[in-house]
Structure 1
Amino acid sequence: MGTTIDCCATQLIDADGSFNVTGLDNFIKTSKMASSDLSYVTVAIMGPQSSGKSTLMNHLFGTKFKEMDAFRGRSQTTKGIWIAKCTGIEPCTIAMDLEGSDGSERGEDDTAFEKQSALFALAASDIVLINMWCHDIGREQAANKPLLRTVFQAMMHLCLFSPQKTTLLFVIRDKSKTPLEKLESILRADIQKIWDAVPKPHNHVHTPLSDFFNVEVTALSNYELEEDKFKEEVAQLQQRFIHSIAPGGLAGDRRGVVPASAFSISAQHIWKVIRENKDLDLPAHKVMVATVRCEEIAYEKHSQLRSDKGWLELKKAVHLGPVQGFGKKLSSIIDTYLSLYDKETMFFDEAVRNAKRKQFQSNVLDTVHPAYKTMIGHLHSKGLKDFKTTLDGSLGNGEEFASSVHYWTRYIMLDFDKGSTDASVRQTNWDASKVRDELHKDINSHISSVHIAKLEKEKKARKEDRIWFLALNMISLAILGAPSPSN
């Protein structure tokens, strides 16, 4: 795997059905597809072997898919599924070239890969080109009949689970002198006949073709015999792919589109489900893709936050001491990464992205919470230290104990409240009340110890005063010659 024709063409699925994950991821990176969000289109082409599919894609989209060499015989050229980025087309358009149907190389009975690749193209594409020979239109044994039957069976299977209407653009090759209107009328009759014959669930037996997908028809001249005319007609057709996602455009129905950044995950899962022959439930698939990508984006943004320079500097600063404006700074950092998550997930399933955002925010808050606790701890330590200092100063200046305690307790608690408000983080409901209660408790404890010390000091002073009083009294009696007072 990993074979490439040039830097913009990659084999997505090989002839054995192996999915080239590495090749697709490299393709998305080099083509800058991931930055397209929903502004991209995927176009696939199906058709009989050696019907000029690759030639058409290369002229229509400026790709370089390998083309058949007529001088070497009409053997199979494209094997598996190849992808390339179209040039000169806006929005970003990705082309898929599928292996031709009814190839002798696989044998008459080996139709499994053909059906699987058809279903994959229909599920992964906005527009599917059906390449067919003009001389086959209206013929019962035409080469395109098995292909159309395969396409409609796959489409019926897919449409049961998909809200999106895919555009089928039938390209009539080597048109004759018969007017296009006549060819289109015959072709649509053929299409309707095949559609009517496709088995359908009871509730869709009478559902018209147009309810499931849009049908467009165009015709091209013979490439070898009328090359200039062919190129002119292709140039006109190319104009229909410019701004194709606009309302009414070939890819105007965007209900089932997967954001470009998730295209690889989506394509891998679609192919895996198809190969395992399971029901391809596209709404469930869309949720799965959203879940994987939103988790990846959340993990990526969380990792970026943990190494963010501003966050690391704030965490270091708060470790050393209180930080003015801590809450505002931290809230701004958190907002940055929540906004980045929102921007990169905005096109995914709303319920999934909201659930993953909630978990992402919770993980982020778990990361930054220790810094907040440290900050509030600093406010506690500073408050208690400042209370002790200011109370001691007041009492030392002879101020009354009760009034000093009341004043400085109120002052310090208000200062703590101011600091905790400054430290509050906007995205949280973190509450500093427990630390505030601890500070108040520690202040009261200090008040009690100071009060006890004050009482002990006063008691000691009264005792010393009594001793002095007794001593002076005895001295006075001795001087006067009076008998000593009895105990």
Structure 2
Amino acid sequence: MAEDCCSFQLISGDGVLNREGLENFSRTTNLSQRGVSYAVVAIMGPQSGGKSTLLNKLFQTDFRMMDAEDGRTQTTQGIWMAKAIGIEPFIVAIDVEGSDSRERGQGGATFEKQSAVFALAIADIVIINMWCHDIGREHAANRPLLKAVFEAMLRLFRLRKTTLLFVLRDQTKTPFERLELSLSGDIEKIWAEIPKPDAYKGTPLGDFFKVEITALPSYEFEEDKFKVKVDRLRQRFFHSISPGGLAGDRRDAQPASGFAFRAEQIWKTIKENKDLDLPAMEVMVATFRCDQIAKETLSRLSSDKTWLALRQDVQARKAPKFKKSIKSILEKTLSQYDMEAIHFKESVRDDKRKELETEALQVLYPAYAAMLRHLRSRALKFFKTRLIKKVKRASRVGFEASIDSTVQYAMDKFEKESRDVSISKVWDASAAKENLFSEIETTKYKAKNQIL
């Protein structure tokens, strides 16, 4: 069965996020199982620049492409998402509605900026798709786009080291080196002109972005050459998150299991026109996901076959190697949590782990309580056996002291054995100890009356 790219509209042209589609994408593609071994690639650029075509050729996706015979009109509305086919690590491809569209007109600036912020907040690599002949033009479509991109990154207030991959379309006879030099100058100039918060004044572009530039021949007039160049570019996305890869400099990668919730919260914040505080967002996502993971782990514990067998066994008898068995069950539970939560923020992860351990110990406690009943029964039986022997050879003189030493011995024996089967300081045997002492005192009182 061929691999499915699972493309869908993530955000409508009206700015409505498709939560069900996003969750279904994460589930059906197994994205949530990827840990941090995945990359998000978004493409931005002016309308009718061949963005969807480029993504489809790079990643074997099926984004809708413009039909040139129908005229140069808006094809992609809103933001679309798909899985790249045949590339490792897992790549989430995001197709962003083209900027500078006739259909949106002057009112489209808001959505363009919102899209730019979203793409930069969620993506490791942002492809800036632009016409080669626009380089050097003061009012070309790429300048407003670049300005929006840089302003968006500053709004994030974080050095994520996003990779900006500039793809120059329809390369002319101008040598690539000349194009690269000219575009690099434009990029630095736009960055310098952007108003920056005091904390980032004087901060070089390279602290925020890793900039890569490449050029492609015309898809319409040099299709064979175009395919060759795109195939070479596609190879660069393999192992893209490894050192030296396209996204090898990315920082603080977020676990894939929180991707859907994170994307939803980022877009909600953008739509509400609030400052997008990514560190705070990460704490929120980590809290949400670690809580989910803890609940799922606890649910698995409740139906774990090894645990159910031990619980049943200990109801009937004193289970051999009880401490080793129940400790192994607890460690397995915490290990499952650790494996799934490992990439989330450490402080959040650790706090939730402590809560999970407390709740797991509560689930396991009834087995410990059953063991205490067996130990109490053994201690009482031990006392009664010793007591019978003492009664047979008892005399009034010294009987009380002799019995008291037996009581102490039985109580000490129970206390030691109850500690030996416990795996937590919070497991309390005091109630069982009090019951045992009460039973021993009752037995002792009856024996004493026989002697007296």
**What TM-score do you get using the length of structure 2 for normalisation?**
0.93
Letter in 2 for 1:140: E
Letter in 1 for 2:194: V
**2:34 matched to 1:20?**
no
CA distance in 2, matches of 1:266, 1:140: 37
Per chain length, whose mean CA-contact separation is higher, i.e. which structure has more relative contact order (CA < 8 Å, sep 6+)?
A: 2
Three-state SS of the structure 2 residue aligned to 1:108 is: helix
**2:306 matched to 1:299?**
no
Q: What is residue 120 of structure 2 aligned with on the other side?
A: 122
CA distance in 2, matches of 1:202, 1:180: 36
**Contact 1:44–1:121, Cα closer than 8 Å, also in 2:** yes
Q: Higher mean Cα deviation, 181-190 or 323-332?
A: 323-332
**2:417 matched to 1:448?**
no
2:226 aligns with one of 221, 225, 230: 230
CA distance in 1, matches of 2:354, 2:404: 45
Q: What is residue 331 of structure 2 aligned with on the other side?
A: 335
Three-state SS of the structure 1 residue aligned to 2:202 is: coil
CA distance in 2, matches of 1:395, 1:225: 111
Q: What is residue 395 of structure 1 aligned with on the other side?
A: 391
**Contact 1:119–1:151, Cα closer than 8 Å, also in 2:** yes
Q: What is residue 96 of structure 2 aligned with on the other side?
A: 98
CA distance in 2, matches of 1:355, 1:180: 53
2:214 aligns with one of 205, 212, 218: 218
Deviation per CA, 1:97-123: give whole Å up to 9, x if none.
011111111122321111101110000
Matches within 5 A, 1:415-426: 415-417=413-415, 419-425=417-423
Q: What is residue 290 of structure 1 aligned with on the other side?
A: 286
**2:173 matched to 1:177?**
yes
Give 1:446 deviation, angstroms: 2.2
Q: What is residue 279 of structure 1 aligned with on the other side?
A: 275
Give 1:89 deviation, angstroms: 1.4
**Contact 1:395–1:404, Cα closer than 8 Å, also in 2:** no
Matches within 5 A, 1:6-405: 8-158=6-156, 160=157, 162-393=158-389, 395-396=391-392, 398=393, 402=399, 405=403
**Contact 1:42–1:95, Cα closer than 8 Å, also in 2:** yes
Letter in 2 for 1:85: K
Alpha carbons of structure 1 residues 260 and 254: separation in structure 2 relative to 1, 3 Å: same
**Identity of aligned pairs, percent?**
53
Alpha carbons of structure 1 residues 369 and 441: separation in structure 2 relative to 1, 3 Å: same
Give 1:50 deviation, angstroms: 0.7
CA distance in 1, matches of 2:353, 2:323: 21
Give structure 2 stretches of 5+ with no counterpart: none
Three-state SS of the structure 1 residue aligned to 2:108 is: coil
Aligned residues: CA RMSD:
2.0
Give 1:265 deviation, angstroms: 0.9
Letter in 2 for 1:108: Q
CA distance in 1, matches of 2:66, 2:415: 79
**Contact 2:5–2:62, Cα closer than 8 Å, also in 1:** no
Letter in 1 for 2:245: G
**Contact 2:391–2:451, Cα closer than 8 Å, also in 1:** no
How many residue pairs are counted as aligned between the two chains? 446
Three-state SS of the structure 1 residue aligned to 2:248 is: coil
Give 1:124 deviation, angstroms: 0.1
Give 1:262 deviation, angstroms: 0.7
Q: What is residue 435 of structure 1 aligned with on the other side?
A: 432
CA distance in 1, matches of 2:152, 2:404: 83
Give 1:389 deviation, angstroms: 4.1
Three-state SS of the structure 2 residue aligned to 1:279 is: coil
Three-state SS of the structure 1 residue aligned to 2:111 is: helix
**Contact 1:175–1:219, Cα closer than 8 Å, also in 2:** yes
Letter in 2 for 1:32: N
CA distance in 1, matches of 2:381, 2:269: 67
CA distance in 1, matches of 2:435, 2:362: 23
Give 1:449 deviation, angstroms: 2.6
**Contact 1:328–1:422, Cα closer than 8 Å, also in 2:** no
Give 1:300 deviation, angstroms: 0.5
